[in-house]
């Protein structure tokens, strides 16, 4: 399209210039962020459930009971059959709640989860916003409410859970690995003076060089065992330093809990950790793991154990293999996301609020769509270049709407009163829709070659010329 017609600017070019100027004004962008937030609030009210910090009330009651001399794992919340299910280190971390009332503790926890969500999105969306020339505050201002409307995020905040905080600890390791890669690049390209040896400068130098990578995963594993799969991932990808840091942090935190609560530590690791009945029924609709899917498929309150072990082992192998390949191809965010989704899929109990790694999965799908669209701009590649990226954009939109609408709640069934097939095959599919989407993401989530390798530069070996060189962001 020519920019001028008979020496005058074309109408389309003028329209594009004016649209860019309007789009770039702060007032318009603030209005877009505010509108997005209002739509997200409407979506939570329309598709969410009634929230009153239900889970946090259990944790608060258990910690109060424990600090007053009761047995931590013997506590049962009033009018429920539920008690404390986390390791003793988690109880130690929750002790400050004793100083707060239940409602105030719930709001404090909600603010901490929102802060963790903002930091997660700052880490994974920020580089993408930079690449497309968008202010980070604008991109994150849109991303936070959009993510907040999804089932895992709204359930985590509404029930007073800690999943976003744990995911934040894991993503903090991703950020530390990025810093380590950049530090390795700096060592190869320039000589920097040694930092002044003071405690503050040492901490800053340790953070800037990624020395803390692994601490986040270690702490998350000490609070809840599921993030331990990231340690297995570090082993598989031979990130030895990060592996030993994570293992050392987990052991240190667990030993600290043993020193402060020896009886509870022995009780947890000898019996509580193996008792899945403490957290609920496997076939319950909110359990969107592979085990829950199989139990509902067999219309049984229990999972066929051998079948579950076989499929879980297969899914675990696929997830770790794909994460390893994503790491080797230079997309650590995709590798972390696949590991997080795999952990949710193979865990016997994965409530919908556990599935917070859906958020980076959506970011990756959107970024892949944008990259493919940008790659064909100005080129006649393929039969329909205008449709480049449409497949991944449609997948991102479909997965997002699925996790916002959460159709499974309309088909929630409880044995033995109502069969999981009471609404036919379509109802069974809807009741298992999030679990099916979770498994599909583990198997098919794409990665972006060279988006953000985090390993240090290494010379080519064994005839391979692939240079493993860190680059900035995604």
In a domain, 8, yes or no: no
Residue bearing the bigger pLDDT, 399 or 184: 399
What percentage of the chain carries pLDDT values higher than 90? 54
Under 8 Å between Cβ of 222 and 251: no
Which residue has better confidence, 339 or 127?
339
Mean pLDDT within 273-277: 75
What is the structure's pLDDT at 195?
54
CB 345, CB 290: distance < 8 Å? yes
Q: What is the mean pLDDT of the chain?
A: 84
Separation CA 281–CA 295 (nearest Å): 10
Q: Which residues pair with 436 in a beta bridge?
A: none
Listed range (195-209, 214-228, 319-333, 340-354) with the worst mean pLDDT = 195-209
pLDDT score at 187? 56
Q: Is the pLDDT of residue 456 over 70?
A: no
Tokens of 273: 């950790």
Q: Band of the pLDDT at 457, cuts 50, 70, 90? A: very low
The verdict on residue 213 lying in a domain is yes
Q: What is the dihedral of CA 273, 116, 182, 223, to 10 degrees?
A: -20
In DSSP terms, which residues pair with 5 in a beta bridge?
8
Of the candidates 460, 352, 357, 363, the one whose C-alpha atom is nearest the C-alpha of residue 409 is 352
In a domain, 102, yes or no: yes
Confidence class for position 469, pLDDT limits 50, 70, 90: very low
**pLDDT over threshold 90, residue 340:** yes
Under 8 Å CB-to-CB from 61, ≥6 apart: which residues?
75, 77, 78, 102
pLDDT band for 258, please (50, 70, 90 cuts): very high
Query: For residue range 141-168, what is the model confidence (pLDDT) as tens digits?
Result: 999 999 999 999 999 999 999 999 999 9
Q: Residue 211's Cα: distance from chain center in Å?
A: 22
Mean pLDDT of 200-215: 71
Half-sphere exposure of 392 (CA within 13 A, CB side): 20
Read off the tokens for 127: 């580089």
Query: Is residue 315 a contact partner of residue 290, using CB atoms and an 8 Å limit?
Result: yes
Helical segments of 271-357, H only:
290-297, 305-329, 332-346
Q: Is the pLDDT of residue 369 over 60?
A: yes
Domain annotation covers residue 353: yes
Closest CA to 348 of 269, 283, 419: 283
Report the domain count for the chain: 1
Give the C-alpha separation, 296 to 313, whole Å.
20
* pLDDT-derived band at 466, boundaries 50, 70, 90: very low
Phi, psi angles (nearest 5°) of residue 287: -80, 95
User: Is the residue at 469 inside a domain?
Assistant: no
CA-CA distance, 319 to 199, in Å (whole number)? 40
| Residues 275/227, Cβ–Cβ less than 8 Å | no
- List beta partners, residue 9: 4
Residue 465 lies in a domain: no
Q: Which run of H or of E encompasses 9?
A: strand 8-9
Residue 223's Cβ-count burial label (10 Å; 0-12, 13-18, 19+) is buried
Is the confidence at residue 194, as pLDDT, over 60? no
> In 3D, which of 72, 41, 44 has the Cα closest to residue 58?
72
248 pLDDT more than 50: yes
Quickly count helices (H) and strands (E) in the chain.
20, 2
The predicted pLDDT at position 197 comes to 62
| Residue 308: domain span | 26-444
Which residues partner with 287 through β-bridges?
A: 351
């Amino acid at each position: 399209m020519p920019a001028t017609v008979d020496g005058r600017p074309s109408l389309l070019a003028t329209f594009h210039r004016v649209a860019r100027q309007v789009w770039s004004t702060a007032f318009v962008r603030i209005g877009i962020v505010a509108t997005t937030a209002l739509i997200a609030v409407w979506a939570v009210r329309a598709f969410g459930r009634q929230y009153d910090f239900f889970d946090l009330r259990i944790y608060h009651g258990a910690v109060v009971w424990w600090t007053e001399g009761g047995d931590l794992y013997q506590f049962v919340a009033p009018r429920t059959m539920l008690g404390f299910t986390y390791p003793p280190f988690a109880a130690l971390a929750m002790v400050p709640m004793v100083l707060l009332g239940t409602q105030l503790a719930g709001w404090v926890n909600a603010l901490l989860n929102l802060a963790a969500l903002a930091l997660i999105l700052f880490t994974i969306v920020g580089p993408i916003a930079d690449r497309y020339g968008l202010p980070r505050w604008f991109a994150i201002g849109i991303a936070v409410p959009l993510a907040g409307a999804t089932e895992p995020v709204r359930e985590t905040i509404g029930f007073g859970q800690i999943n976003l905080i744990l995911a934040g600890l894991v993503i903090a390791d991703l950020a530390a690995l990025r810093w380590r890669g950049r530090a390795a690049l700096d060592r190869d390209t320039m000589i920097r003076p040694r930092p002044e040896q003071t405690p503050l400068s040492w901490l800053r130098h340790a953070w800037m060089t990624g020395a803390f990578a692994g601490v986040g995963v270690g702490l998350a594993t000490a609070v809840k065992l599921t993030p331990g799969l990231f340690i297995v991932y570090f082993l598989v990808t031979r990130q030895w330093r990060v592996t030993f840091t994570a293992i050392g942090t987990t052991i240190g935190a667990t030993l600290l809990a043993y020193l402060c609560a020896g009886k509870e530590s022995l009780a947890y690791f000898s019996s509580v950790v193996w008792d899945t009945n403490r957290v609920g029924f496997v076939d319950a609709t909110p359990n969107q793991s592979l085990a829950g899917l199989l139990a509902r498929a067999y219309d049984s309150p229990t999972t066929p154990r051998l079948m579950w072990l076989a499929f879980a082992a297969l899914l675990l192998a696929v997830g770790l293999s794909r994460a390893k390949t994503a790491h080797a191809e230079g997309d650590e965010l995709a590798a972390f996301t696949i590991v997080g989704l795999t952990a949710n899929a193979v865990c016997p109990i994965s409530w919908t609020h556990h599935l917070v790694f859906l958020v980076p999965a959506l970011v990756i799908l959107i970024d892949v769509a944008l990259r493919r669209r940008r790659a064909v701009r100005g080129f006649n590649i393929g039969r329909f270049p205008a449709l480049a990226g449409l497949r991944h954009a449609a997948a991102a939109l479909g997965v997002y709407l699925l996790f916002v609408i959460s159709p499974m709640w309309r088909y929630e069934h409880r044995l033995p009163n109502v069969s999981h097939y009471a609404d036919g095959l379509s109802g069974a599919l809807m009741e298992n829709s999030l679990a099916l989407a979770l498994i599909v993401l583990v198997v098919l989530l794409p990665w972006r070659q060279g988006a953000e390798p985090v390993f240090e530069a290494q010379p080519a070996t064994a005839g391979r010329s692939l240079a493993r060189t860190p680059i900035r962001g995604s």
